[in-house]
A and B are shown apart, each in its own frame.
Chain A
Amino acid sequence: MGAERNTAAVPTAAPRSGARVVLGLLWSDKFAFVAALFLIFVVSCAVFGPLLLGGTATSMNLRLRNFPPFTLDHGWLFVLGADSLGRSMLARLMVASQNTIAVAAAAVAFAMTVGGVLGLMAGFLGGWFGNIVMRLADIIMSFPSLLIAVVVLYMFEPRVANLVLVLGITRMPIYMRTSRAEVLEIRERPFVAAARVMGASSFRVVFRHVAPTVLPTLTTIAALDFAFVMLAESALSFLGIGIQPPEITWGLMVAQGRNYLNVAWWLAFFPGLAIMLTTLSLNLLSSWLRIAADPTQRWRLEIPRGRDG
């Protein structure tokens, strides 16, 4: 959190045409470039996968149970093998990406928005309100997410929306705390003081001047959190209180596949790999973004080979 404090954003200044510069900067970091390509692929799977392969992903064929990967004997759909009910792993991975990305994105967005706003207000208003928000953060942090999950899933159904709620609530404290801490520092800065002196309302000061300054830090955390949420979703499935079939997510696929680790490793490996590559890509891209958006660091991308520091 504090680590990112120095990165408080100065948006990418664009002397040349914006998109070209961005692409150029991206190209100069090959890891980030590949990561961006991969994310584009995942997102298009999430958007189109269920439309194209929804039926294939649920069509069962017990004779192909645990069919091994890397052969084309049963067509390209089975190139990643089949699961324990003989369903195409490839199709399931692509279809599951929709729920997975939707759950993670929605939960992180929920946590970031609600947590961020609460934190901003707590930092700016302070006093009893600030205190309540901080105590709330304490409570949520030491509250076992498992219990929230069981409560929600017992009272409602284990559907995607409910899972988003569970994961979103449990991830809120970090945004509450971070944005409050940032605000505490920023509100003493000259430009905020100036805005106040010039008679801007508190509301305006917070949302016009403070929020944009806090946002980059929050997005960095969100990129990390995205990974965390996908893994937490998987862990809930492992414990039997997460999303349940017939819905599918990568996390659920890993959780179900773990029963077969010693006979059919691919059931758990491919969805695990998908989670890993997605989060890795997000992180690489976000660390690229941090450097690209920071004028004091950007030279690292502009000079072909990093000079010794």
Chain B
Amino acid sequence: MGTYLARRAVHSFVSLAGLLILVFFLARLTGDPTNLYLPLDATLEARQEFAERHGFNDPVIVQFGRFLSGLAEFDLGTSIRKHRPAADVVLEAIPVTLGLAAVTMIVALLGAIVVGSLAAYRPGRIFDRLASVISLASASAPDFWVAITAILLFAVTLGWLPTSGTGGFAIEYWIMPIGVLLIRPFGLMVQVVRGSMLTALSSAYVKTARAKGVTERAVIFVHALRNGMLPVITVASDQAAGIANGAVIVETIFGWPGVGKLMIDSILYRDFAVIQASILITAAVIFTINIVVDIAYAVLDPRIRHH
């Protein structure tokens, strides 16, 4: 296990390095930020001075060298948009997104296990068909459309929920953002749980358990589920990573100051230091999730442990 973890850590480090190099150079292909930070009427000299002061006139490779030497001292640079250290800006946003991702995944996972298992229990029956169609259909709706419609319905027309915002992270403010984030992973995971439960329920050990007189509930939720969990975990981790990276729409519409919103703004405003910092930190989080998932795998499935 120890060597395995060490190997994974090395792999993650290599990936992170590759990612950073790619991001650094690709970001600089999106144009000089000077235009975005100075008013239209700024003089040419003012523009040149600005570019000079922020080092945009240097060759990209020199800028990269400067970035690396900063990195060596754990300095991710300063946001030219916010005039604050980029790392601070990102670290403020990370917990918001992680919170959204964690709650969403827990709710989606629990819901998908219940619905998926029930669907698999009597395949082809009405509950199964309805669960499949509804979960697939809701997962295929554009999320910003769902979000705005939900606000108009639940907040404006019905007045049940606040429109948006974090409201000091009170529970009523979570319901709509989570609800919108939820639908896609939920729909997907219902399918996966159903598929993997179908396989598990027709396997030999479930038949044995049944023959031994184990209750149906135990058959589903203990024997079958435990063995059907592996693919579910894979998909769940994939989706969690997706949310950590892509809650941008929910964050934008509901005004949650997460890292997705930060990233799109930084990209549109060419705030390179923040782009780099947010990608670096998010990627580190995703790699950590992946390693944790691998460990969970090994715990759940003894066959993999020696792989």
CA distance A5 to B148 in the complex (A): 39
Known A-B contacts A147-B27, A150-B267; the reply to A141 vs B142 at CB < 8 A is: no
- Complex: chain A residue closest to B12, CB-CB: A138
- B188 engages A258 (CB within 8 Å): no
CA distance A135 to B18 in the complex (A): 8
Instruction: Bits for B109-148, please: 1 = Cβ < 8 Å to A, else 0.
Output: 0000000000001111100010011001101111111001
Contacts of B122 in A (CB 8 A): 306, 308-309
Contacts of A148 in B (CB 8 A): 26
CA distance A262 to B163 in the complex (A): 14
- B267 engages A276 (CB within 8 Å): no
A285 CB to nearest B CB, Å? 11
A216 CB to nearest B CB, Å? 13
The yes or no answer to B152 lying at the interface (CB within 8 A) is yes
* Interface size grouping (class) on chain B: 35 or more
The yes or no answer to B54 lying at the interface (CB within 8 A) is no
- B241 engages A258 (CB within 8 Å): no
Contacts of A254 in B (CB 8 A): 142, 144-145
The yes or no answer to B162 lying at the interface (CB within 8 A) is no
Contacts of A276 in B (CB 8 A): 137, 140-141
The yes or no answer to B98 lying at the interface (CB within 8 A) is no
The yes or no answer to B31 lying at the interface (CB within 8 A) is yes
- A238 engages B144 (CB within 8 Å): yes
The interface stretch among A15-23, A90-98, A207-215, A227-235 is: A227-235
Instruction: Bits for A288-307, please: 1 = Cβ < 8 Å to B, else 0.
Output: 00000000100010000010
The yes or no answer to A4 lying at the interface (CB within 8 A) is yes
Contacts of A27 in B (CB 8 A): none
CA distance A300 to B128 in the complex (A): 13
CA distance A280 to B187 in the complex (A): 11
CA distance A24 to B148 in the complex (A): 43
CA distance A140 to B164 in the complex (A): 32
- Complex: chain A residue closest to B121, CB-CB: A309
- B15 engages A135 (CB within 8 Å): yes
- B148 engages A154 (CB within 8 Å): no
B50 CB to nearest A CB, Å? 20
Instruction: Bits for A176-211, please: 1 = Cβ < 8 Å to B, else 0.
Output: 000000000000000000000000000000000000
Q: Which of A4, A224, A251, A280 contacts B142 (CB 8 A)?
A: A251
Instruction: Bits for A235-267, please: 1 = Cβ < 8 Å to B, else 0.
Output: 100111100000000010011001001100000
Contacts of A31 in B (CB 8 A): 129, 133
Give chain B's interface secondary structure class.
Answer: helix
The yes or no answer to A127 lying at the interface (CB within 8 A) is no
- B264 engages A231 (CB within 8 Å): no
B3 CB to nearest A CB, Å? 16
- B125 engages A306 (CB within 8 Å): yes
Contacts of B87 in A (CB 8 A): none
Contacts of B23 in A (CB 8 A): 143, 147
Q: Which of B137, B156, B238, B267 contacts A146 (CB 8 A)?
A: B267
- B22 engages A143 (CB within 8 Å): yes
Known A-B contacts A1-B235, A309-B121; the reply to A142 vs B196 at CB < 8 A is: no
The yes or no answer to A144 lying at the interface (CB within 8 A) is yes
The interface stretch among B34-42, B64-72, B100-108, B278-286 is: B278-286
A6 CB to nearest B CB, Å? 5
Contacts of B287 in A (CB 8 A): 138, 142
Known A-B contacts A147-B267, A255-B144; the reply to A1 vs B234 at CB < 8 A is: yes
The yes or no answer to B89 lying at the interface (CB within 8 A) is no
The yes or no answer to B11 lying at the interface (CB within 8 A) is yes
CA distance A234 to B22 in the complex (A): 26
- B286 engages A142 (CB within 8 Å): yes
The yes or no answer to A81 lying at the interface (CB within 8 A) is no
Known A-B contacts A2-B231, A3-B231; the reply to A235 vs B15 at CB < 8 A is: no
Taking A138-B287, A287-B132 as given, write out 4 further A-B residue pairs in contact, using a Cβ cutoff of 8 Å, ordered by the A residue number: A150-B267, A262-B156, A284-B133, A296-B202
Chain B interface (Cβ < 8 Å from any Cβ of A) = 11-12, 14-15, 18-19, 22-23, 26-27, 29-31, 121-125, 129, 132-133, 136-137, 139-145, 148-149, 152, 156, 184, 188, 191-192, 195-196, 199, 201-202, 230-232, 234-235, 238, 241, 245-246, 248-249, 252, 263-264, 267-268, 275, 279, 282-283, 286-287, 290
Q: Can you give 28 A-B contacts (C-beta < 8 A)?
A: A2-B234, A3-B231, A6-B199, A31-B129, A139-B19, A141-B241, A142-B279, A142-B283, A143-B19, A143-B279, A144-B279, A146-B263, A147-B23, A147-B267, A151-B29, A154-B31, A155-B29, A235-B143, A240-B268, A254-B145, A262-B156, A268-B145, A284-B132, A284-B133, A300-B124, A309-B122, A309-B123, A309-B201
Closest 6 CB pairs of A and B: A306-B124, A2-B231, A142-B283, A279-B140, A138-B15, A3-B231
